[in-house]
């Protein structure tokens, strides 16, 4: 079981210097609004590829003094325990000589985001995601792609390569350039990396479906999910990587004239969507009540946590879950049900709330920390 055994923040958000020792038990962070609960949770989210749970810019992480002047650099470091192996030191931060660059280190050596993803799976649920089912498709793609990183650590790199090629192709289209060789090269990259993206997404959805089907309806109801995307559909129908790569490449070539008129790439992996339906009611999630949408969203997070735990039987692992202000939106019975579900995962969980009473159902089975103006105090 992987868990963060120690966490250190330096000039991060409202924390000057914090050292926190943790066990594998759930972690509850409670305190008034603005005290720094979400900041601490965000620090954990940065120990994976990407910009963290708030998708903030690097400069935004640096602590600011009373006059708004930011610290020169910031850092988040953790000691990761994985089963009986020796602990692994991981850290991220700002590079002093290049403030626009994020530094990643594993056991003191420079590392990549993909290497982080191979070590640690971090998932989160924030209040901003309450609009996931009614918001733009890009939000649902990002949500799914974060899940996909757990099953295909190279997914992030493939996504960056695909987007880089698509951006360059769009520039050629908008500038009216007709160089076929240039288009061929960019479309070859889009086909290669697009097929990898589609494969990771299709695998992730298949794993989620398996976990959802294995469970009865609980306080967090079952959902029917599927991918709305041409390339992903080929995988779902039994196609392989070569089939999808060939399809993407041929469609891009066929669409050049139409795309040139539009000045952009009209079809592709950047248009896919994740469709979610409340199974028992056969109702699209977007049409469900706010409470039902929250329950469906939590159900997906729990399904992903189980999928990650059983993804590779030869190397079982556990995810780390970050649940920001989730308890406040649930009634007492559903809070208790969620806590029992989380405990059954045997995963390290971080939860935030304004009141310690929201977490009574843990009944001594969690680490409780009170947060006040960037100070963290263990309680019970």
CA dihedral 242, 247, 253, 258 (to 10 degrees): -160
Nearest to 230 by CA among 268, 203, 189, 201: 268
pLDDT, tens digit, 9 for 90 and up, residues 106-126: 999 999 988 888 888 899 999
Say if residue 79 is in the same domain as residue 12.
yes
Q: Are 324 and 41 in contact (CB under 8 A)?
A: yes
Write out the two tokens for 15. 């924390």
Note the pTM of the prediction, 2 decimals: 0.90
pLDDT for residue 347: 86
Q: Report residue 296: phi and psi, to 5°.
A: -65, -40
* Listed residues 290, 308, 337: the one ending a domain: 290
Say if residue 141 is in the same domain as residue 268.
yes
Q: Is residue 308 part of a domain?
A: no
Q: How many residues does the chain have?
A: 380
Say if residue 282 is in the same domain as residue 345.
no
Q: Is 345 helix (H, G, I), strand (E, B) or coil?
A: helix
pLDDT, tens digit, 9 for 90 and up, residues 293-318: 999 999 999 999 999 887 655 444 67
pLDDT for residue 277: 98
Say if residue 96 is in the same domain as residue 140.
no
Residue 357 pLDDT grade (very low, low, confident, very high; cuts 50, 70, 90):
very high
Distance CA 148, CA 156 (A): 9
Q: Is residue 312 part of a domain?
A: no
Residue 160 pLDDT grade (very low, low, confident, very high; cuts 50, 70, 90):
very high
Q: Is residue 250 part of a domain?
A: yes
Q: Residue 60, Cβ neighbours under 10 Å: how many?
A: 14
pLDDT, tens digit, 9 for 90 and up, residues 43-95: 999 998 888 999 998 889 999 887 776 788 899 999 999 876 789 999 999 87
Say if residue 76 is in the same domain as residue 99.
yes
Say if residue 363 is in the same domain as residue 229.
no
Q: Is residue 342 part of a domain?
A: yes
Q: Residue 371, Cβ neighbours under 10 Å: how many?
A: 22
Least confident of 62-66, 231-235, 259-263, 336-340: 62-66
Question: Residue 25 maps to which CATH number?
Answer: 3.40.50.300
Say if residue 75 is in the same domain as residue 211.
no
Q: Is residue 311 part of a domain?
A: no
Residue 1, pLDDT > 70, answer no
Say if residue 76 is in the same domain as residue 148.
no
* Listed residues 273, 290, 307: the one ending a domain: 290
Q: Is residue 225 part of a domain?
A: yes
Q: Report residue 134: phi and psi, to 5°.
A: -105, -10
Distance CA 146, CA 5 (A): 23
pLDDT for residue 338: 94
User: From residue 189, how far is each of 138, 166, 193, 194 by CA, in Å?
Assistant: 22, 9, 6, 8
User: From residue 353, how far is each of 55, 342, 370 by CA, in Å?
Assistant: 21, 16, 10
pLDDT for residue 191: 98
Q: Is residue 301 part of a domain?
A: no
Write out the two tokens for 40. 């601490």
Taking residues 318-332, report their average pLDDT. 89
Q: Are 3 and 348 in contact (CB under 8 A)?
A: yes
Q: Is residue 22 part of a domain?
A: yes
Question: Residue 230 maps to which CATH number?
Answer: 1.20.1050.90
Taking residues 152-174, report their average pLDDT. 95
* Listed residues 290, 309, 326: the one ending a domain: 290
Number of domains in the chain: 2
Say if residue 140 is in the same domain as residue 265.
yes
Say if residue 116 is in the same domain as residue 191.
no
pLDDT for residue 65: 81
Would you say the C-alpha torsion 55, 300, 158, 2 has a positive or negative sign?
positive
pLDDT for residue 314: 47
Say if residue 174 is in the same domain as residue 283.
yes
Say if residue 112 is in the same domain as residue 151.
no
Range of the domain at 336: 1-121+317-380
């Amino acid at each position: 079981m992987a868990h963060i055994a120690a966490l250190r923040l330096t000039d991060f958000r409202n924390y000057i210097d914090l050292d926190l020792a943790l066990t594998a038990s759930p972690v509850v962070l409670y305190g008034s609004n603005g005290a720094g609960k979400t900041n601490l949770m965000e620090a954990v989210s940065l120990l994976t590829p990407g910009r963290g749970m708030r998708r903030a810019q690097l400069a935004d992480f640096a602590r600011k003094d009373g006059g708004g002047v930011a610290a020169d650099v910031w850092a988040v470091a953790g000691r990761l325990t994985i089963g009986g192996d020796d602990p692994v030191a991981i850290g991220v931060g700002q590079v002093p000589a290049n403030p626009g660059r994020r530094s990643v280190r594993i056991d003191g050596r420079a590392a990549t985001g993909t290497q982080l993803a191979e070590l640690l799976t971090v998932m989160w649920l924030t209040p901003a995601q309450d609009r996931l089912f009614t918001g733009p498709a890009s939000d649902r793609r990002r949500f799914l792609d974060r899940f996909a990183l757990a099953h295909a650590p190279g997914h992030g790199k493939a996504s960056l390569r695909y987007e880089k090629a698509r951006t360059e192709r769009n520039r050629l289209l908008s500038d009216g350039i007709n160089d076929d060789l240039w288009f061929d090269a960019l479309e070859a990259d889009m086909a290669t990396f697009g097929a990898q993206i589609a494969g990771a997404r299709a695998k992730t959805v298949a794993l989620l479906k398996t976990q959802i089907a294995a469970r009865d309806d609980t306080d967090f109801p079952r959902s029917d999910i599927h991918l709305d995307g041409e390339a992903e559909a080929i995988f779902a129908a039994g196609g392989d990587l070569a089939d999808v790569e060939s399809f993407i490449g041929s469609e891009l070539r066929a669409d050049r004239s139409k795309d040139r008129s539009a000045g952009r790439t009209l079809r592709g992996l950047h248009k896919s969507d994740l469709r979610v339906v409340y199974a028992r009611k056969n109702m699209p999630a977007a049409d469900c009540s706010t409470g039902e949408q929250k329950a469906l969203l939590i159900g997906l997070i729990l399904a992903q946590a189980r999928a990650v735990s059983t993804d590779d039987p030869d190397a079982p692992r556990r995810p780390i879950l970050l649940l920001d202000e989730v308890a406040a939106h649930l009634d007492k019975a559903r809070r208790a049900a969620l806590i029992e579900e989380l405990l059954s995962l045997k995963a390290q969980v971080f939860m935030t709330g304004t009141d310690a009473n929201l977490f009574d159902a843990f009944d001594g089975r969690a680490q409780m920390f009170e947060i006040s103006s960037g100070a963290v105090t263990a309680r019970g």
